[in-house]
Amino acid sequence: MGMLDGVKIVSFNHFMLGPLAAQHLGDLGADVVMIEPIGGAFQRKWAGGNTYVGGESALFLCANRNKRSIALDLKSDAGREVALKLMAEADVVMENFRPDIMERLGLGYETAKAANPRLIFASASGWGASGPYSKRPGQDLLIQARSGLGMITGTQSSPPTPVGVSAVDHHGAMVFAASILAALVRQGRTGEGTKVEVDLMSAALDMQAESLIAYFNGSPDRETRAPDNIGGWHYQAPYGFYRTSDGHIAISIVAFDVLAEALECPELADMTEDDGWNRREAVAELVQGAVEGKTTDYWCERFETLSIWHAPVLGYDAVAADPQVQYNGNLLQSELTSGEPITLLAHPACFDGERPGVRLAPQPIGAQSAEILSDLGYDDATVSTMESSGAVALG
């Protein structure tokens, strides 16, 4: 795709937030050099769903394509020297260690800036670079708990519920990548470097902008758990999910008289817009009672005829078969260096009608160590010595 051709990024990222942000930039053409520990980063050793392909974890596979891998012992003098050389010629350095780890390794912002004044030094943390929680583990589930996201997910009859994906990591990755892109624009215009700081707590709150603004500017005694069926505390009935005879259907914003006709429920025709707020439970009960006797397909056809905003609630198999998903090319087939096939998610954006593809499948540990060291001017004998000492691992 080449949107970021010529941009060099050194990635010290691990887990999900940092690697996924770096992958977005790699998809766009940046040369991303992924620095891992000798034994491999955490994301290689834990898998969502306990799923592995060719020995690689699903967590690693989802966020580490289009990157070159070098494995370094950053606590060794030789390993740290390699990292500093990479940083000195990079446009961007990314890291999502806990605050102060890079400084303790001798690879912090001031050191990097002194060697490369135009460098963008981008750090992501769980809670923020400083403050009362800065030293705590900053992980998606913990952020969901403290940010209010877990509390507003679910309904009044259910307990606080984690979102079914690592939503904060994914949104945080987009914030991280977008912030780096903004800094690259400035760098291109002025030649200036930038210190970029992103944290998961801020990303989690950013995800909730609509509901937080509604809450803090509304009645102080509002209930922040939605009634059953309704899609959130700050939404008007009937907005939500409803059980059909064979599944569930989503019903969005709709006039009550139109919905009454569709559901053949005259009681709804007497409802007003205010009732959608003040009598949400009653509205939801009427809609649920009318919907549950027929299939999802029946309601989809009927709602389509009446131009009611709706959608079937799909599981993953149905998502894969969905005509729009297939048309968009959201799922793509690739293969590991071992030749084993894998299914990946395509880059979420198109450029000039095309989605960025896979230049490099997720790589084995240190697959490009020798190549990267050669690029930095290390000869074969020196590389061999470094490998023998444990400063670098060759793939």
What residue type is 197 in one-letter code? E
Query: Tell me, what CATH number does 35's domain have?
Result: 3.40.50.10540
What are 88-140's pLDDT values in tens digits? 999 999 999 999 999 999 999 999 999 999 999 999 999 999 999 999 999 99
Contact 112, 120 (CB under 8 A): no
Residue 373 sits in the same domain as residue 228? no
Query: Tell me, what CATH number does 227's domain have?
Result: 3.30.1540
Residue 184 sits in the same domain as residue 219? no
Q: Which domain holds residue 225?
A: 213-243+248-312
What are 360-377's pLDDT values in tens digits? 999 999 999 999 999 999
Query: Other CB atoms closer than 10 Å to residue 218's CB: what's the count?
Result: 10
CA distance 147 to 167: 12
Residue 54 sits in the same domain as residue 68? yes
Residue 1: predicted pLDDT: 56
To which H or E segment does residue 241 belong?
strand 240-243
Residue 112: predicted pLDDT: 95
CA distance 204 to 172: 8
Q: Per the structure, how many domains does the chain have? A: 2
Single out the residue of 118, 125, 123 nearest to residue 184, CA to CA: 118
Query: Other CB atoms closer than 10 Å to residue 339's CB: what's the count?
Result: 7
Residue 70 sits in the same domain as residue 184? yes
Residues 6+ apart with CB under 8 A from 344: 61, 62, 65, 331, 332, 333, 334, 358
Q: Which residues of the chain have pLDDT under 50?
A: none
Half-sphere exposure of 213 (CA within 13 A, CB side): 5
CA distance 119 to 183: 10
What residue type is 265 in one-letter code? C
Q: Is residue 342 part of a domain?
A: no
Q: Is residue 334 part of a domain?
A: no
To which H or E segment does residue 140 belong?
helix 140-147
Residue 264: predicted pLDDT: 96
Q: Is residue 346 part of a domain?
A: no
CA distance 313 to 20: 27
Residue 97 sits in the same domain as residue 163? yes
Q: Which residues belong to the active site?
A: 169
CA distance 244 to 241: 10
Sheet of 120-125: strands edge to edge? 194-199, 120-125, 92-95, 8-12, 31-36, 67-72, 392-393
Residues 6+ apart with CB under 8 A from 349: 355, 356
To which residue do tokens 């003098």 refer? 77
User: How far is C-alpha 96 from the chain's CA centre?
Assistant: 14
Residue 83 sits in the same domain as residue 218? no
Residue 235 sits in the same domain as residue 185? no
Residue 102: predicted pLDDT: 96
Q: Is residue 138 part of a domain?
A: yes
Q: Is residue 131 part of a domain?
A: yes
User: How far is C-alpha 97 from the chain's CA centre?
Assistant: 17
Residue 298 sits in the same domain as residue 179? no
Residue 217 sits in the same domain as residue 191? no
Residue 30 sits in the same domain as residue 84? yes
Q: Is residue 113 part of a domain?
A: yes
